[in-house]
Chain A
Amino acid sequence: MPFLLVAPSLLLVGAFFLFPLLLSVQGAFMGADGPTLAHFRTAFGLYRNDMLVTLLITGCATALIGAGSIAIGGYLTLGGSRRARAVLAWLYRWPLFIPFIVAGQSMRGFLGQNGLMNSALVGAGMPEMWAQSFLDWRGIVITFVWKQLPFATLLIAGAMAAMDRAQIEAAQNLGAGRLRVLLGVVLPQVSRNITVALILSFVTMMGVLSVPLMISGQSPSMLTIPMAWRINSLGDYATANALGVLACLMTGMVAWVWLRQAAAEKAK
């Protein structure tokens, strides 16, 4: 009976995602004459640096998002000034629903060497020679953090707000500082929510094409770029599919962490 309720949605995902995904996996292994690993050799040979850079960019962005959202969530839960909390709560969520493509477009003019950010900084007294362009991998990281931070914070701050405050107060009564309370009391209880928020952010960022496309033409870049390039300019679906499979494996590892944690929780 419960399976019947889940079936229609599984059908939707199955027909419009899993099935074409399997076609793509099949394409990655199919050569002109039978199954082959040649496409993976091409993918590794030409794009191993892009794979590393993808992990680096997404990993960096995920770490920053984690730190930022814990800091914001922590302040919203434990912060001393009510007014500062209200301002922060109002501020952080603005980019929540802004599309990646819009984020990329806004950042492009903002982060350039003579972009709005540097112009403002120079206007505020920064020496002009310090102004440098962030339109490279750093720009991609910044854009990702800007766009995903509100989402992660929403989930994490929400979980923190749902906590039982008695424990926090007890710890504070024992004289624990705010940082101690955050690390010792709050974080352990919301660790699962943090994982969910960060995994969702990580996998979302892995698949984004528009941001690296708009921010930087640098190479190596994120895997979506060579994927698009293989398909668009060379009409080479096989290698693109192989790259897709590799990207899928990379996200799969992350998802596995989540599954294992879920299993551990169930065992408790």
Chain B
Amino acid sequence: MSAWRWLPRILLLVLFAGFIFGPVANLLLWSVAESWYWPNRLPSQYGFRYWERVFRPEGQAMESLGLSIWIAALATLACMAVAIPAAWALARARLPMRGLILLLFLLPQAFPNMPVYINIARVFFSLGLNGTVLGVVLVHAAHGLVYAVWIAAAAFAAVEDDAVLAARNMGAGALTAFRTVTLPLAAPGIAASAIFVFLESLDEFTASFFVGAPDVRTLPLLLYSAAAGGNMQVAAITALILLVPSIVFMAVVQRFLRADVLAGVGK
């Protein structure tokens, strides 16, 4: 009896697992497929030849990965430096046109980016910023601001007024209260927003291509050329490398994102 009650649940969960993991399994298979063509349903020859090819010194996969991480770290830093004060103001101060300001941060996510990045590239050339890490970092930071500001604002908003008031009553200045009470209480949410910015930068393609290439070659650029060239194996391996940080952060992000913060995003 109870087994029958469980059956639909298990079936649904298995189907859902297939939907979630199927595409990833496909990547894994391609990465070790040395020969795979129809009508073979699975690779006819397995091996690590393409792994060797990706990690050969000229392949620059590790160099690109390092650079991608470096850029993402800098972009996160830049982004959080401006986002934290803004998020605090949006969450706790009475700002006129608050909705409009929130919307402004959304724009870089919302607008199809290509024409914008081409114009940025033109401006950057005249400033000598094209093809520099700094240029890519700035664009990535602007692009990630929506996550930084929206989530951090929700985190600040979730801090209880009482705690801050108590600190002020005990004689703490506004800044001290912020530093010792508000910031630590909001820290997990801010960390979560930083994770979003970091990953957004790590995965960004269009801006890196127009502003960064060829001097700044991030991992998504490598993946794109492999995929466009139809090299399924190299593309799959590069994709798997990009997957590692994504999954690590996916596992930890829950620790930082409490439900009440999530409930306040975009409010």
Residues of A within 8 A of B (CB): 1-3, 5-6, 8-13, 15-21, 23-24, 27, 81, 84, 87-88, 91-107, 109-110, 114-117, 119-120, 122-123, 146, 154-155, 157-159, 161-162, 190, 192-193, 196, 199-200, 203-204, 206-207, 209-210, 214, 223-224, 227-228, 231, 237, 240-241, 243-244, 247-248, 251, 255, 258-259, 262-263
CA distance A118 to B24 in the complex (A): 15
Q: Which residues of B contact A199 (CB under 8 A)?
A: 266
Q: List 28 A-B contacts (CB under 8 A).
A: A12-B141, A13-B104, A15-B142, A16-B138, A23-B119, A24-B116, A93-B250, A98-B243, A101-B205, A101-B224, A101-B227, A102-B246, A106-B23, A106-B239, A107-B26, A109-B232, A110-B23, A154-B257, A158-B259, A193-B265, A196-B265, A196-B267, A200-B146, A204-B109, A206-B112, A243-B112, A248-B111, A259-B99
Q: Which residues of A contact B224 (CB under 8 A)?
A: 101, 210
Contact (Cβ within 8 A) A16 B110: no
Interface residue total, chain B, C-beta cutoff 8 A: 96
* Nearest neighbor of A254 in chain B, beta-carbon distance: B110
Contact (Cβ within 8 A) B38 A105: no
* Nearest neighbor of B19 in chain A, beta-carbon distance: A146
Q: Which residues of B contact A154 (CB under 8 A)?
A: 257, 262
Contact (Cβ within 8 A) B138 A162: no
Q: Among the listed B24, B100, B145, B199, which residue makes an inter-chain contact with A13, where contact means beta carbons less than 8 Å apart?
A: B145
Residues of B within 8 A of A (CB): 9, 13, 16-27, 29-30, 38-39, 41-42, 78-79, 81-83, 85-86, 88-90, 93-95, 99-101, 103-120, 122-123, 138-139, 141-143, 145-146, 149, 199, 202-203, 205-206, 220, 223-224, 227, 232, 235-236, 239, 242-243, 245-247, 249-250, 253-254, 257-263, 265-267
